[in-house]
Structure 1
Amino acid sequence: MILITEFMDETWVDWLRERSPVTYEPDLPDRPDDLARLAREARALIVRNRTQVRGDLLDAGFACVGRLGVGLDNIDLDGCHARGIEVFPATGANTLSVAEYVVTTAAMLLRGAYGLRAQMEAGAWPRAQAGQGREIAGKILGLVGYGEIARVTGRLGRALGMEVIASDPFAPDFDGAREATLEEVLEQADIVSLHVPLTEATKNLIDAGALAAMRPGAVLVNAARGGVVDEAALCEALRAGRLGGAALDTFADEPLGADHPFTDVPNLILTPHIGGVTREANTRVSEMTARKVASHLGLV
């Protein structure tokens, strides 16, 4: 049996059903006891980012994990390796969707004219206020991390007339971007976009000190991993008016806890971890994952 614990393109769920028994229950991350029970019957798990593949779950006996996406911080890779469990991320399948999210959201934040509906419906005409927005062309796009998604983000930024700089101690090259340190990215960029995994080294990488180092009026976009940004410090910086805006697609706690700091914070866009989830990307991610899992199980 193949156990799919989070949402997947139905066409590729059906494709798997033609080859194997499938249990498809997209709410299993909220039902850990059922998840543990069903995992013991599974030859493979297919998950997104909410299913925690670690601890006792690793001893359920499945042969592989298909990840509907690329982030692997919800999967104990060392534990999988020790048990001979193969892990298959959908590398590259949602790259364009994330890159488009970063560039279009940054453009919205710079323009700053898209939150005025309530005033207009109330009879106001805030044209002078809305006319203070900025163009994206000519701005500096700073990328923290320079892997595949960051490179495509840079390519889109250059197409819109942006200069691209990037920091990444592990990048093999900086083709398409000017190499910079993290400090230089924060000091120089009009838009700072994060493209790093969540590790001990990157936890709260963008803290109060990093936010204070950013250019006044700059905007921050995090479509990478929750926990890389100190969320409370970001809210303080936005309330103080030092930043031009921010967009968060990933969070330290998902869904947001009752004590989240975001209420009434100005110039802040929140989206529910969907930077890499579009119809097109979901189809590509689902196909890649289904084919990898089926191949490993000898079903194709």
Structure 2
Amino acid sequence: MNRAHLSLVAVVVIWAGSFSVIKALLDDDVAAGDIALLRYAIAAPGFAFILWRARGLPGLTRGDAARVLVAGALIVVGYHMLLNIGTRYTTSGIASLVVAFAPAMTLVLAFTLGLDRIRPRHVAGLAVAFLGVAIVVALGSGSELSFASAKGPLIVLGAPLSFALYNVILKPLLGRHDLLALTAATSLVGIFGLVPFVRGSTVDTVSNASGTEAALLLYLGVLATLLGYILWNVGLRGLGPTRAVAYTYAISPLAVTIGAVVLGETVTLWLVLGGVLVVGGIAAAQGVSLPRRRVKREVGFGHEGADGHEVAGT
């Protein structure tokens, strides 16, 4: 197995585990905002080094800069805050399957804005994925459908929506800038959007963190955020987007498994059915009929839980 394959295997495991890490921190009463802020504060020096090595983003216009700012706010604040807040009220496994819906949302936005042509396979795949996420949200917990049981998954749905907007906004920049440097730039500017969430609990989280909590935060900052992006970039360059995307379909199933084994989360038949429909529908809709050249333009960033450029994650 070459370096690209090993990198992608590592990414799948790291990103799948991050959902349980977030849930464990939330269960320890670490605030959702503190988790997002501290994970990016930990990763920030590495992102700054990446951007420095790439000599920034040469030729960045004012319009490009505006896109980077908005995209940074969407991915760091919108995606991670909604994921963290929603996961407090649901399981890590359900959260991972809802986040896996990000590519479907990205495709719908692309079709709506005329950025892509819709084809029968897209329609069929998206319909299956929509049905799957509806099952996960409504019945995945095994509880009777109620606002309380659906609250968490519905909040988490805002995360893939944020990621879809992030993808569409950055799409014009993908062919003109280094992908890893662009990811570093959006991550760094997005950190400033978390400043309003700094409060006394943030200081307390740092000063009173147990060894376990510190290790979990380092996992998110160093492994899931910084190293995850680097490994995804290595795999993407080595195998190309079409083959790299195939690995990402394992993230959510593995996340559900880790949540069940490590956190003792219940895996219901409805959750399994919904998960199969989400992942299968997206696999059918996303990469099957897209020409390789188009996919290469659209697939570049990595994030836990979704696929390709549309890999959304924690």
TM-score class normalised by the smaller sequence:
under 0.3
Higher share in helix = 2
TM-score with structure 1 setting the length: 0.25
Higher share in strand = 1
User: Comparing both chains, which one has the higher relative contact order based on Cα–Cα distances under 8 Å and sequence gaps of 6 or more?
Assistant: 2
